[in-house]
Structure 1
Amino acid sequence: MSWSDFYRRREVLDRALRQARRTGGRVTLAEIPGGYDVFMNEGELLLALQHKWNQLLTGRIGLALDDLDHGAHGAAEDDRVDAISRAWRETARQNPELRAVLDAHGDAFPEQLRAGRDVELSMLALNAGLASAAEPADKIRRVGTALLNLIASTPTRPAGRPRGPVAQLRRLLAPAG
């Protein structure tokens, strides 16, 4: 990819996010100037947007874990989960159109987005310390899915609840008995 191609691709991604701002997260490649010059279809565009999301989230998680490591040696598991939860929420807050596009199109393009989504879920589970890289990939993704569901449904820690999302996650993952 030449620099010219890189900048054209980035401009189309920016146009897609501007379109998403106007449409509540829906993007249509045909309505994006230059869209078909860069991407073959909406699936390719969404894959590029998922990759962009994963890059932003990776950076934010890295910062959160670095802050945790330097601020609280011997931090509890709850602290790691809270740090990862805050990182995801902050990434979503700073990139609302990007998150809206992925949420709006995830069901329509599951095959194209699966690999990128799996990366996101694994990143959450592993960095939160809720799964180990030695575990089967499907188990890591299930844990990541449970954590993401908690993050998305609990934007901030509810008042009066001393426990963070780890306690909620344990309740979800614990076998009924």
Structure 2
Amino acid sequence: MSWNDFRRRQQAIQTVLDDASRNPSEALTHVPAPFLDATDALRALQYKWTQQLTGRIGVALAETDDTPHADRVQAVTAAWRRTAEANPVLRDLLDRHESDPVLRSDMAREHRLLAVAAGLAEHTEPVDDVARVGRAFRQLVRITPEPSPQCIGGRLRKLIPSF
């Protein structure tokens, strides 16, 4: 991919996000070039989210490693929330299409990332189990009030034996 191609894709992604910001229910009905269709654009949007989330998780875990008694669950929770706060239209658009089969493997990958990064699962465990733990973690992050990451960890630790 050339720099021109990269810039065109970035501009197209921004166009999709601008359209979604103005009219969320109509998002992805008119997909700009160079995207071939809504599926292609949706994958690019998920990739954008994953890049930003992965970067924030990496920074959060590096800071956690430097802090005695730091909590990985709290660090990953904060990283997910910061990413969502920095990208509300992107997060909303992905949430609206979460059940789309095209995102199934990307969502499972994100769930596994969250579970392993938070220290709730190991990468050597069965991938479906790790994804289930990550999905539960993400759901708790989304429904738990902001200032309470310890609550998320406590709830997850109660759930994990049931997986």
Q: What TM-score do the two structures reach when normalised by structure 2?
A: 0.92
Q: Distance in 2 between the 1:23 and 1:100 partners? A: 12
Q: What TM-score do the two structures reach when normalised by structure 1?
A: 0.85
Residue 163 of structure 1: how far off its partner (Å): 4.0
% identity of equivalent residues: 42
Structure 2 vs 1, CA of residues 25 and 84 (structure 1 numbering), >3 Å: closer, same or farther? farther
2:137 match: 147
Residue 115 of structure 1: how far off its partner (Å): 2.0
User: Paired residue for 2:51, among 46, 51, 55?
Assistant: 55
Give SS of 1:38's match: coil
Residue 40 of structure 1: how far off its partner (Å): 1.4
For structure 2, which runs of at least 5 residues remain unmatched after alignment?
Answer: none
Structure 2 counterpart of 1:89, which letter? R
Structure 2 counterpart of 1:41, which letter? D
1:128 match: 118
Aligned residues: 162
For structure 1, which runs of at least 5 residues remain unmatched after alignment?
Answer: none
2:84 match: 92
Q: Distance in 2 between the 1:66 and 1:26 partners? A: 40
Give 1 or 2 for the bigger CA radius of gyration.
1
Structure 1 counterpart of 2:158, which letter? R
**1:1-177 pair list within 5 angstroms:** 1-24=1-24, 26-30=26-30, 32=31, 35=32, 37-72=33-68, 75=69, 79-107=71-99, 109-110=100-101, 112-158=102-148, 163-175=150-162
* RMSD between aligned residues: 1.7
Structure 2 counterpart of 1:86, which letter? A
Give SS of 1:129's match: coil
Judge conservation of contact 2:74–2:150 (CA < 8 Å) in 1.
Answer: no
Give SS of 2:66's match: helix
**Relative contact order, CA 8 A, sep 6+: which one is greater?**
1
Residue 19 of structure 1: how far off its partner (Å): 1.0
Structure 2 vs 1, CA of residues 9 and 163 (structure 1 numbering), >3 Å: closer, same or farther? closer
Structure 1 counterpart of 2:157, which letter? R
